[in-house]
Chain A
Amino acid sequence: MSFEAITNAIKELEEEKVLKLVKEQLDKGEDPIKILDACRKGMTEIGNSSGDTVFLTDLIMAGEIFNEVMEILLPKLVKDSTKSLGKVVIGTVEGDIHNIGKDITINFLKAEGFNVIDLGVDVPPQKFVDAIKEHNPPVVGMSGLLTLSIEPMKKAVEAITSANLRDKVKVIIGGERTDQGVCDYVGADAWVNDAIDGVKIIKKWVGGA
């Protein structure tokens, strides 16, 4: 019942209530993994309502609450006690310094249990290549708010292809100005205008959802 209360409080974006309930459960000696799962459930349900009754500001607030919960839970979680769904390398492409879409995607990927390697903003093609070599992720996400990020997305995909890594990763591009034409032009596997749709596609690819 109390876990359900945490899930519901997350869904309702009741920041103070969530933090209070999480602390109460910890004090009662509840398993932090169960608390985390309750939070994740709330995040998944928020994601499922995205675009319908949930809007981007709600997603940012949800991400903030989830990060606050993680700050409380992380010291209590035994290392590697939670199973990772897989790795995702993600970054905003070269020349673009906008982080909003990328960060929402990251928060919700983490909430789903992905291990996210955040390359930051203004990421040159070679940095994507290096990160793939180092982390061997099944998925690479490229974000970009502006029209000017289309060419750099194309260059980053080309660099991955030249390094003979293209068949090892799925590439998803995200941003307000992307569409199927841009996806084909860039040479990506999927495109999204919406962060939560991106999380869903990535889950389908590697999370078995």
Chain B
Amino acid sequence: MDNAEEIYNAKLERLEVAAAAKEPDRVPIGINTTYFPAKYAGVSYEDMFHDNNKYIEVMAKFARDFNWDGYNSLRSFESVPLGLALAGYDPDLAIGVAVSSVLAGGASHDILADVYSSNPGRELGKNVESQFVMEKPVMNNDEYDNLIKQPFEFLMKTVIPRAYKNLADLDSPKGVGTLLKMGQELAKFPAFFGEFLGKMKQEAWLPWYLALTPNPLDFIGAWLRDFDTLTLDLYRMPEKVKAACEALTGVLAAVGKLTGAISKSATGSRRVFCPTWYNTYLSPEQYREFHFPYIKRIVNELVEADFTPLLCFQGRMDHLLDTLTELPEGKVILWFDKTDLSKVREVVGDKYCIAGGILSSLLISGTPQQVKDHMKETINKYKPGGGYIVTTEFNGMGDAKIENVKAMTEAVMEYGKY
């Protein structure tokens, strides 16, 4: 195989077969690389984040040199609430606004002045990865009912002015001007995205994921209430939290399908990234009460619409494994961070695709030989019968040593063949 289209088709097939819990020609490798392509190409994180030409350059170079089955480096998520607030008014516009920060870099952060993210070359040093931590909650204790009754109105009128400093007063020249600037930026997006896809196709690139949707509890925790206050809400007002999750489930499933459709038409990938975050911290009872029911509904809706949910269970999931087999067999990818993968295999058997097995700490502090040995052992353990994808923890690549990432790649090619 030497032409890009054949290589691309082989990757697409390999990932799809593995996702169906079957044996492809080789164990696929799919990774969220975050800023590693910048480090590899000798470009600053700041430039990768803010300069779209540099972004394309480092992404293409990484695709060419490593040739993984899937990888992506989405940038940030700060425009998501603004997009969501528009979802009842114009779904296409809403998605455009939401993905503007995900794909098109730091412009929306600079224009909106959000309270969510800290970015390289802005709040952080020029080679520090973006982080997403709210300064303080943008929804108050007594506002759950407003969110539950009229989510879009509540988001636009109450949350947006608090979440974006430049939209604090939507009626002011600054507020209107900020929206117009966002419009100008959005107008540039199709040209950038077209150029990005064109260049990446030449490199036979396929994303690990391009589409995404959060689940209700994590959305409330990351964008509305912040981690600590939502945790206390679970004890102080559990019924309100559940009603809010209920109110958001449909719209978040729709976000998954709409972004999934963009991904499918642009890259062929049917995977929809469904990150889960709170799971690590919840008791099994809390997980079954506040988190899993809504995740399951979104997953089922995505599967019915012929998408493949890529469930990224961040942190540790060891105490919640019994819920996994309630998800549709052979239709989802179960991706783990620090959860014991061999226990997962015991629980889900050969009916589900699992992804994981590479710890970022090894890529950072290990030697190429240690990486190779670990890869050999891991691949040999999970490869039999298919349904296994090599990946690292979510956002685990940042400070990895380049020689270790090369050793990992070589090991997949050497030991991964069926």
Q: Which residues of A contact B (CB under 8 A)?
A: 13, 15, 55-58, 60-61, 64, 95-100, 103, 146-148, 150-151, 176-179, 181-182, 184-185, 193
A58 x B399 contact (CB < 8 A): no
Sample (22) of A-B pairs whose CB atoms are under 8 Å apart: A13-B235, A55-B281, A56-B280, A57-B231, A57-B235, A57-B281, A57-B282, A60-B232, A61-B231, A61-B235, A95-B125, A95-B128, A95-B129, A97-B118, A146-B395, A151-B399, A176-B315, A176-B337, A176-B338, A179-B359, A182-B364, A185-B364
Using Cβ atoms and an 8 Å threshold, which residues of chain B touch A58? Answer: 283
Known: A55-B282, A147-B397. 11 other contacts (CB 8 A): A55-B319, A56-B282, A58-B283, A95-B125, A146-B131, A148-B399, A150-B364, A151-B364, A181-B361, A181-B365, A182-B364
Q: Which one of A15, A98, A146 has the highest number of Cβ atoms from chain B below 10 Å of its Cβ?
A: A146
Closest to A53 in B: B283
Residue B260 interfacial (CB < 8 Å) = no
Q: Which residues of B does A touch, CB under 8 Å?
A: 118, 124-125, 128-129, 131, 133, 227-228, 231-232, 234-236, 280-283, 286, 315, 319, 337-338, 359-362, 364-366, 393, 395-399
Question: Does A150 contact B131, Cβ atoms closer than 8 Å?
Answer: no
Q: Which residues of B contact A176 (CB under 8 A)?
A: 280, 315, 337-338
Q: Say yes or no: A61-B232 contact (C-beta < 8 A), given A55-B286, A97-B133, A147-B360.
A: yes
Contacts of A184 in B (CB 8 A): 365
Chain A residues near B236: list those with CB within 8 A: 15
The closest CB in chain B to the CB of A179 belongs to B361
Binding site of A, secondary structure by majority: helix, strand, loop or mixed?
helix
Contact status A177-B131, CB under 8 Å: no
Whole-angstrom distance between the alpha carbons of A181 and B374 in the complex?
13
How many angstroms from the CA of A103 to the CA of B133 in the assembled complex? 15
Docked CA distance A147–B394 (Å): 10
In the complex, the answer to whether A177 meets B280 with C-beta atoms within 8 Å is no
**What is the bound-complex CA distance between A58 and B395, given in angstroms?**
27
A-side contacts of B366, CB under 8 Å:
181
Q: A15 touches which one: B235, B282, B360 (CB < 8 A)?
A: B235
A115 to chain B, nearest CB (A): 23
CB closest chain-B residue, reference A100: B227
| Minimum distance in angstroms from A32 CB to a CB of chain B | 25
Docked CA distance A166–B367 (Å)? 27
| Residue pair B365, A60 in contact (C-beta under 8 Å) | no
**Nearest B residue to A186 by beta-carbon distance?**
B365
B133: chain A residues at CB < 8 Å are 97-99
